[in-house]
Amino acid sequence: MATALTIFDNRPFFDKALRYGVAQDLIPPGRLQSLQEEFSKGIVQIANFFGTAHLRPELELALHRMVNLVSLYLEDMSEGDLQIAAASLRDKTLLSHSKAGSDMLKRLHAMPDSTLVDRGPVSAERQRAYLDDKTASDTIPLAEYRSELALRQTMRNTIDFAFWLAKTMGIARDDIDDAEPLIRSAMLVIFVDQAELKLPTRTAFVRLFKSAKNPKAKLNQDRLKAFLREAPTEFQQLAGGAMDRFIERDLPQIRAASSTADKLLYSDAGENYFISESVDDDVREYDRLVAKEWDRVTRGEADDPAVVATVFFFVATGLPPKASMLLREAKDVIGVFRSGGFDPQAVIKFVDDHAPEAIREELQKFWTAELKPEAEEQLSDLDPNWPDTHMERALEYLRKTCRVTWKARRR
């Protein structure tokens, strides 16, 4: 059997171009000598930039860095053509090649590597650390560089598209932290026919969610085209792709039987959506829309710790929850607690079943870490040195902690 062998040449591209240039008489002896001198000068400069030129290991590493930088630029500008690369080494200084390679990496580093909106400029310290990492490692493959460049360009285009959407739909650039959630919300708005072309507040999102959840709802292509009529061609293409992704991935999540608007906004399980924080947005209205039982029980006053404590004590003792406590109900709470203690999981389950997603963790922490331990001490009558047979101490604790209808006893 005949075996074919292929030579694998893993030399740096700079080495290949230089040897080719010398072999083909493109680089004369005089130019070769000047290249050596430029190399020595460049190594010292690079070593000083990253550390010091007074240590041999730093100089050896600087040699490796310079070869990497020159190779990256040469292969990129010549598209791998050794003759073009050799001619460049002949006509331009080695330091200019090294700088060009460094500039390529700096431009790459300055581009976003995600859809997060970074408002700050790249610091010299971060840039140096990036160059240090890239040039000290193995030879930088041009294909890898171009792949990362393409990815980062996609991220930049996505962010620019999000900025255009924000401006078109009434949102300031400074309000944007991540482009993807904003684009997702914009696609939801456009998808829901007849919806106002503005990025939604929380309550508006609930209504958009309800409309999109209807299995009969479909994209109005004319609406999308009209919205994009004045958009740059590139943004029109990005919008088309974003809408396709929304219909393919996000819409099924919205239409899932267990999905709610509250979960999509605040649960870690779903994709994020952008919400316009508006002082005009009615928090009570949002709670009414997404957590009707919680809103009913708390009477829309869940921001009052006394109301929350009242509801929790009722739930923990198996009594019907309500936002205020009568004196006789307070005695019932104390009696149930003293006979069998609290049912702590009842409160956790009530919060999970009824409270808005955004405040569940905070409410559960309030119950387990603050309210429950304190109440178990204040409502008990187990210490013979601290008797409370007639519930006076326990009732006073509930009066101060809860929303109650009775006044303090006169002394």
DSSP 266-325: H-TTS--------TTS-HHHHHHHH-HHHHHHHTT-TT-HHHHHHHHHHHHTTSPP-SSB
Q: Taking Cα atoms as reference points, which of 58, 141, 71, 61 lies closest to residue 102?
A: 71
Task: Assess whether 260 and 336 both reside in one domain.
Answer: no
Task: Assess whether 346 and 235 both reside in one domain.
Answer: no
pLDDT, position 5: 44
Q: Judge whether 347 and 316 are in contact, CB under 8 Å.
A: yes
Percentage of residues in the chain having pLDDT higher than 90: 75
Is the pLDDT confidence value at 179 over 60?
yes
Per the domain annotation, does 322 fall within a domain?
Answer: yes
Per the domain annotation, does 280 fall within a domain?
Answer: no
Per the domain annotation, does 275 fall within a domain?
Answer: no
Which amino acid does the sequence have at 223? R
Q: Concatenated DSSP letters for 81-128? A: -HHHHHHHHHHS-HHHHHHHHHHHHHHHHHS-SSSB---SPPPHHHHH
Q: Judge whether 314 and 322 are in contact, CB under 8 Å.
A: yes
* Residue 194: both structure tokens together: 């007849």
Task: Assess whether 163 and 134 both reside in one domain.
Answer: no
Quick: pLDDT tens for 85-116.
Answer: 999 999 999 999 999 999 999 999 999 999 99
Plot region of 391 (φ>0 → left; ψ -120 to 50 → alpha; else → beta) = left
pLDDT, position 392: 85
pLDDT, position 284: 72
Per the domain annotation, does 320 fall within a domain?
Answer: yes
Task: Assess whether 17 and 136 both reside in one domain.
Answer: yes
Per the domain annotation, does 285 fall within a domain?
Answer: no
Task: Assess whether 166 and 124 both reside in one domain.
Answer: no
Q: Terminus-to-terminus CA distance in the chain, angstroms?
A: 110
Q: Judge whether 124 and 60 are in contact, CB under 8 Å.
A: no
Please give the Cα distance from 300 to 283 (Å, whole number).
9
Task: Assess whether 171 and 128 both reside in one domain.
Answer: no
Please give the Cα distance from 366 to 33 (Å, whole number).
76
The mean pLDDT value for 212-222 works out to: 96
Task: Assess whether 220 and 110 both reside in one domain.
Answer: no
Task: Assess whether 23 and 116 both reside in one domain.
Answer: yes
Burial of 379 by CB count in 10 Å (0-12 exposed, 13-18 middle, 19+ buried)? buried
Contacts of 98 (CB under 8 A, 6+ apart): 42, 46, 66, 69, 70, 73
Structural domains counted in the chain: 3
The mean pLDDT value for 171-193 works out to: 95
Is the pLDDT confidence value at 6 over 60?
no
Per the domain annotation, does 233 fall within a domain?
Answer: yes
Per the domain annotation, does 377 fall within a domain?
Answer: yes
Contacts of 171 (CB under 8 A, 6+ apart): 182, 199, 274, 276
Task: Assess whether 172 and 128 both reside in one domain.
Answer: no
Please give the Cα distance from 380 to 338 (Å, whole number).
6
Please give the Cα distance from 36 to 269 (Å, whole number).
59
Query: Of residues 270 and 190, which shows the higher confidence score?
Result: 190
Per the domain annotation, does 283 fall within a domain?
Answer: no
Determine the structural domain holding residue 212 and report its residue range.
158-266
| DSSP 8-state secondary structure symbol assigned to residue 371 | I
Q: Mean pLDDT highest for which of 110-124, 126-140, 203-217, 275-289?
A: 203-217
Listed residues 77, 107, 140: the one ending a domain: 140
pLDDT, position 402: 96
Lowest mean pLDDT of 13-22, 295-304, 384-393, name the range: 384-393
Q: Taking Cα atoms as reference points, which of 129, 18, 152, 147 lies closest to residue 83?
A: 18
Task: Assess whether 127 and 24 both reside in one domain.
Answer: yes
Is the pLDDT confidence value at 163 over 60?
yes
Listed residues 111, 140, 169: the one ending a domain: 140
As a whole number, the mean pLDDT across the chain is: 91
Contacts of 130 (CB under 8 A, 6+ apart): 105, 109
If residue 65 lies in a helix (H) or strand (E), which one and from where to where?
helix 56-78
Task: Assess whether 133 and 17 both reside in one domain.
Answer: yes
pLDDT, position 55: 87
Task: Assess whether 20 and 120 both reside in one domain.
Answer: yes
HEC profile of 252-275: HHHHCCCCCHHHHHHCCCCCCCCC
- Helices (H) and strands (E) counted in the chain, each on its own, are 21, 0
Lowest mean pLDDT of 111-120, 150-159, 228-237, 260-269, name the range: 260-269
The mean pLDDT value for 58-71 works out to: 94
Query: Of residues 67 and 121, which shows the higher confidence score?
Result: 67
Quick: pLDDT tens for 269-294.
Answer: 656 899 988 655 667 788 888 888 99
